[in-house]
Structure 1
Amino acid sequence: MTRFSILTRSTALAFCLPGTAALADLTGADVWSDWKDYMTSAGYEVTASTATSGETLTVSDLNMSMQFAEDEAEGAASISMGTLRFVEQGDGSVSIELPAQTSIDVTMTPETGEVATFSIDFDQTDPVMSATGEPGNLTYDYTASASTLAMSGLTVNGVPVPADIAKVSIAMSDLAYTVKTTVGDMRTIAQDMSVAGVSYDVAFTEPEGEGTFKLVGAMQGIAMDGNGALPLDSDPQDMNAMLSSGLDFDGTFTSTGGNYELSFSGPDGSGTANSTSEGGEISIAMDTNGLSYGIQQRNVDYNMLITEFPLPLSISAAQIGTTLMMPLQKSPDPQDFGLEVLLSDFTMSDMIWGLFDPSGQLPRDPASLLVDLSGQAKVLFNFLDPTQAAILEETGATPGELNALTLNALELDAAGAKLTGEGSFTFDNSDLVTFDGMPRPLGGINLNLVGGNGLLDKLVGMGLVPEDQAMGARMMMGLFAVPGDAPDTLNSRIEVNPEGHVLANGQRIR
């Protein structure tokens, strides 16, 4: 996780650290201490003045600042929250009175390029926040009828940029956020959030007027839940050390629908695009076993029109998704990895089909693709250690060793043909000679092709594939495959035996 992602995660908690039924009497000082300790452990430097009057603890001139790095840029952020009041309610809970507006001042300094500064204004409507529990075991509840985030005061190399040149605004409605945090050997956090709707408006214009970009969109039915464990004493800037100390988090973000409209123009052309979907999901998890990430969208429609292309592009899919799992830390033992890509019921408009199949020879049924891979690899350096990453980049050393690879599923169904497959290989990294520098594999893969010859005939008839190339393709299929029981079906098993021989359906080809 980069420093900027820590900034956004902990900033969200700072805005709306949110209670449920009281467990014991709780003081404003208890809540303020917990809040401050969390923000400090997340990498912020916290400054404020405090005063107590009766049942109220007032925190004034509250400022939280941090330095962060993002790839080839570094920067700083400062959050000015003004005045907070922690009011003891007499029932064991504490009400937290939030300011209506909070300002975040950001400076981005790239290694090359222009230095940018800007502010993000965060406004809340009807914010209600409370804390319950006991020191070391607190629950925060937060609600607001609306909130907005807007960029202001942008400067580039010290020169102010007019508001009509650069615009970023986000509006949210009906927010509800609950966080339960427990402090022991680690700080554990469990959180749930819901937002009825989000709308966003982003626009940029080249100062010389040569290019424009505009993005307007919305999402509905947003929900997020997550759990995590944070080390108490690790440096937030050293993610590798935090993982070694027990950093562990997972979260899921879902929505019930969304849409956007995009337009752009410039010296090289212009265009428009729009998209709608019926929602989706993003999931992410990180611990000592590695990083897992997944994204899916349902019932997606996408349309685009650009000056360089003569026709509008219209595509849709019932589901689009990808999942990635990878290890992050060096280990003497092989670690699991995985990748899955899914495209379900993909269709194109007849106008696009007409570009290469005007006579309609190819079936235009929805196409689907599934690739599901898993395996094991030995990681030879820590991915999140910038020092080791720099050494790797300078020396060109091998980052890891592939030990095993499994094709759990391959399914490609398009244009009247269907290809399926599965298989697995192990790899001997002590033998880099047999296969010219690649670890020697051992194992096999099974493939099945239905309708391949029929598709090839149609491509020849359409003029997309020359007859001599089609003949060469058929000869290759004859070499690597054998006919199946059904018409126009080919089966193939490609394997590598312990001697390093490559076999196709039992016949040695290498």
Structure 2
Amino acid sequence: MPLMHKTAASVAALSIFMSGTAAFAEVSAQAVWDDWKGYMTGFGYTIDGSEAASGGTLTVSDVTMSMQIPEEDASVSMTLPQLSFVENGDGTVSIELPPVMPMNIRVDTPGDDDADIALEYVTDAFSMVVSGETNDLLYTYSANAVSLALKTLVVEGQTIDVGAAEMSVANLAGTTSMKVGNLRVSEQSMTTGPVSLVVDFKDPSGSGYLKMNSKYDTMSFDGGGSFPMNMNPDDMAAMLKAGFGFNGGFSYTGGATDFEFEDRGERVEATTSSDSGALQMAMDESQLAYAGTASNMKMMMAGGEIPFPVELAMQDTAFSMKMPLSKSDSAQEFALGLTLGDFTMSDMIWGIFDPAGQLPRDPATVALDLTGMGKLNFDVMDPAQMEAVERGQMMPGELNALTLKGLTVRLVGAELTGNGDFTFDNSNLETFDGMPAPDGAVNLKLTGGNALIDKLVAMGLLPEEQAMGARMMMGLFAVPGEGEDSLTSKIEVKPDGKILANGQRIQ
């Protein structure tokens, strides 16, 4: 796994350079190249190339970027033919690439997994200009089109016919600012026109294949990060303590993907689409956070063991997660959110369990919004501390508070909603058998519950005796609410062990 991480890091590093996110400290050809080398060596790479200066242009040929991977007794190297740094005479520097540039990646291992990967990077009307002042630079870049394609894959000297893989981007434009001090701090904004990804892989053994086509009308990125001057990607905990962090997100419009694959004669095909979507990520010493959204998602799948086409759709989809990463003596926030809004499925699926159409087929929604406060007793990114927690040598932390900001489950004519708030006494681990003693309440409301039970009994999906048990439980924990077929419940938990439902003690 570390070897794969290093290979991916090599490609990412070159992409950083080509998309304007590398860090340069002087607006002169030699200084730009020297500082780019310094930037990459800060990540552990060795950079080599033949330099030739003439008339304000520095040409670097046979560029090699390599890294040793001690834990795997292996190495990864990447080569590209030529880069040019051109002084424009106005205090700016242009970075020029060949319109068609081959890229070669070599993976050397002590076993039988040596590999040579040949890629081709193609640009149309590519432009990148560096301006500004020393240690405070601005990159402006654009291209009519950019593409990266897999050309050949050779493993242990044998060419593998895996098919094709290519990503292309039209109307690329963006800016990156870079300030260099104790840290390198960058901010980037990028937009594109249509983006496409084509994959056509064949199993070398001949047992199957994978074909995939993804397209987006537009994509954009906004964000930034801070980077220590010398970083070791194998020691993320140290990087975070040194100031490493990022916060940014991608968004898109008009996304669509279709794929098909076959394995040992069994074929599956699917299509997905959405009007728009976004993915946001943030990470620093204190936290890790993800958030994603998509609108008007549709999916169709058929083949394999599925006897008929499966069609699903959701109007709104969202997820979010936030968690602390570092040990702290004070409480830190965590959060979890999920929304599956206005979910629908085809009548063919409904017909499996409701052929007579007795259940309402209105769009269903499931939504959860949960936040809390807690303390960590270890650094999540420190492998040694994580291992100590897994072995039980260290308590992971404390739960201090939990808030259910919102809960919604709406389907087949019934709806459950709720909210609640609890605090926890970590000095009392006896009352609840090792769990911190909670103090708080959750409020729930159910509408349409009895009508749903009646329909399930009529359909034969719920035996009458089980339905009676469910009604008895609802009578124990709930009271009639406002409106027809409405129940409400307030469940309270006290630090002394008492549990009450609507003011009546049940434990």
Matches within 5 A, 1:49-60: 49-60=50-61
- CA contact 2:187–2:225 (8 Å) conserved in 1: yes
Quote how far apart the aligned CAs of 1:218 are: 1.1
Q: 1:105 to 1:449 in 2, by over 3 A?
A: same
Alignment match, 1:326? 323
Distance in 1, Cα, partners of 2:355 & 2:271: 26
Which residue number in structure 2 is paired with residue 291 of structure 1? 288
Q: 1:250 to 1:463 in 2, by over 3 A?
A: same
Match of 1:501 in 2: 498
Change (3 A) 1:393 1:166: farther
The question of whether the paired residues in 2 share the 8 Å contact of 1:6 and 1:42 is answered with: no
SS in 1 for 2:307: coil
* Cross-structure match for 1:452: 449
Q: Name the residue aligned to 1:254.
A: 251
Distance change in 2, residues 1:74/1:121 (3 Å):
farther
Residue 389 of structure 1 and its aligned partner are, at CA, apart by 2.8
Instruction: Kindly report which structure 2 residues correspond to 1:280-359, keeping only aligned pairs within 5 A, or say none.
Output: 280-359=277-356
CA distance in 2, matches of 1:153, 1:160: 11
The corresponding residue for 1:16 is: 19
CA distance in 2, matches of 1:169, 1:203: 9
2:145 maps to 1:142: no
Partner of 1:195: 192
| Selected match of 1:160 from 158, 161, 186 | 158
TM-score, normalization: structure 1? 0.91
> 1-side partners of 2:7 and 2:444: how far apart?
45
Provide the residue aligned with 1:120 in structure 2.
119
Q: CA deviation at 1:140?
A: 1.5
Write out aligned runs for 1:81-230 (5 A).
81-100=80-99, 101-105=101-105, 107=107, 117-156=116-155, 158=156, 160-163=158-161, 165-230=162-227
Structure 1 partner of 2:426: 429
The residue type paired with residue 162 of structure 1 is I
Compared CA separation, residues 337 and 456, structure 1 to 2 (3 A):
same
Question: Take 1:395 and 1:377, find their aligned partners in 2: how far apart are those partners?
Answer: 19
The 8 Å contact of residues 10 and 78 in structure 2, kept in 1 or not, is answered as no
The corresponding residue for 2:79 is: 80
Moved more, 432-441 or 442-451: 432-441
Alignment identity in percent?
44
- Summarize deviations over 1:488-510 as a string: whole Å, max 9, x none: 11111111113121111112222
Alpha carbons of 1:453 and 1:136: their partners in 2 closer, same or farther (altered >3 Å)? same
Cα distance in 2 between the residues matched to 1:136 and 1:413: 55
CA contact (8 A) 2:290 2:322 kept: yes
Instruction: Please state how far the C-alpha of 1:117 moved relative to its aligned partner.
Output: 4.9
Deviation at residue 153 of structure 1 after TM alignment: 3.2
Q: Deviations over 1:264-288 (max 9, x none)?
A: 2224833111011112001111112
TM-score under structure 2 length normalisation: 0.92
Deviates more, 1:390-399 or 1:47-56: 390-399
How far 1:43 sits from its partner (Å)?
3.4
Residue matched to 2:62: 61
- Determine if contact 2:245/2:284 at 8 Å carries over to the other structure: yes
How far residue 444 of structure 1 moved from its aligned partner, in angstroms, is 1.0
- 1:108 Cα deviation from its structure 2 partner: 8.5
Structure 2 gaps, min length 5 = none
Distance, in Å, in 1 between the alignment partners of 2:503 and 2:347 is 44
| CA shift for structure 1 position 452 | 0.7
Match of 2:402 in 1: 405
- For the residues of structure 2 that align with 1:108 and 1:300, how far apart are their CA atoms? 43
Deviations 1:52-80 (A, max 9, x none): 222122222222223579xx989754332
The superposition leaves residues 83-119 of structure 1 with CA deviations (integer Å, 9 ceiling, x where unpaired) of 2221111111111121331414153979x99665534
Inter-partner Cα distance in structure 1 for 2:315 and 2:376: 36
- 2:382 alignment partner in structure 1: 385
Instruction: Give the letter for the 1:33 counterpart.
Output: D
In the aligned structure 1, how far is the partner of 2:52 from the partner of 2:33? 12
Q: Which amino acid letter does the alignment assign opposite residue 433 of structure 1?
A: E
Partners of 2:72 and 2:26 lie apart in 1 by 46
The answer to whether the Cα contact below 8 Å between 1:14 and 1:39 also exists between their aligned partners in 2 is no
Confirm or deny: 8 A CA contact 1:18 1:131 kept in the other structure: no
Give per-residue Cα distances to partners, 1:21-43, cap 9 Å, x unaligned: xxx99321232233222222233
Partners of 2:471 and 2:76 in 1: CA distance: 62
> Per-residue CA shift, 1:96-155, capped at 9, x if unaligned?
121331414153979x99665534332222221211112211111222222222224324
2: CA distance, partners of 1:416 / 1:168:
46
Distance change >3 Å, CA 421–CA 68, structure 1 → 2? farther
Contact 1:273 1:305 in 2 (8 A): yes
Code of the residue aligned with 2:148 in structure 1: it is L
Larger mean Cα displacement after TM superposition, 331-340 or 234-243: 234-243
Distance in 1 of aligned mates of 2:264 and 2:392 = 40
Unpaired stretches in structure 1, ≥5 consecutive residues: none
Distance, in Å, in 2 between the alignment partners of 1:293 and 1:483 is: 40
Q: For each residue in 1:188-228, what CA deviation from the matched residue of structure 2 results, as whole angstroms up to 9, or x when unmatched?
A: 10111122122112233333322322222211211111111
| 1:411 Cα offset (Å) | 1.0
Partner SS for 2:32: helix
In structure 2, relative to structure 1, the CA distance for the partners of 1:222 and 1:400 (3 Å cut) is: same
Question: Where does residue 42 of structure 1 map in the other structure?
Answer: 43
| RMSD over equivalenced CA pairs, Å | 2.7
One-letter code aligned to 2:30 = A
Kept in 2, the 8 Å contact 1:105–1:118? The answer is: yes
Is residue 331–residue 380 contact of structure 1 (8 Å, CA) maintained in 2?
yes
Count of equivalent residues: 501
Q: Structure 2 vs 1, CA of residues 396 and 203 (structure 1 numbering), >3 Å: closer, same or farther?
A: farther
User: Partners of 1:382 and 1:185 in 2: how far apart?
Assistant: 24
Could you say if the C-alpha distance between residues 166 and 428 of structure 1 is closer, same or farther in structure 2, counting changes exceeding 3 Å?
A: farther
Q: Aligned partners of 2:72, 2:412: CA distance in 1, in Å? A: 46
Equivalent residue letter for 1:103:
M
Letter in 2 for 1:36: K
Mean Cα displacement is larger for which, 87-96 or 381-390? Answer: 381-390
Q: Deviation at 1:261?
A: 1.0
Query: 1:12 deviation in Å?
Result: 1.9
Query: What amino acid maps onto 1:374 in structure 2?
Result: T
After TM superposition, give the deviation of residue 232 of structure 1 in Å. Answer: 1.6
Greater mean deviation of Cα atoms: 444-453 or 244-253: 244-253
**AA paired with 1:248?**
G
Deviations 1:288-331 (A, max 9, x none): 22011111111111001123122211011111110111111122
Distance 2:73 2:453 in 1: 54
Kept after mapping to 2: 8 A contact 1:273/1:304: yes
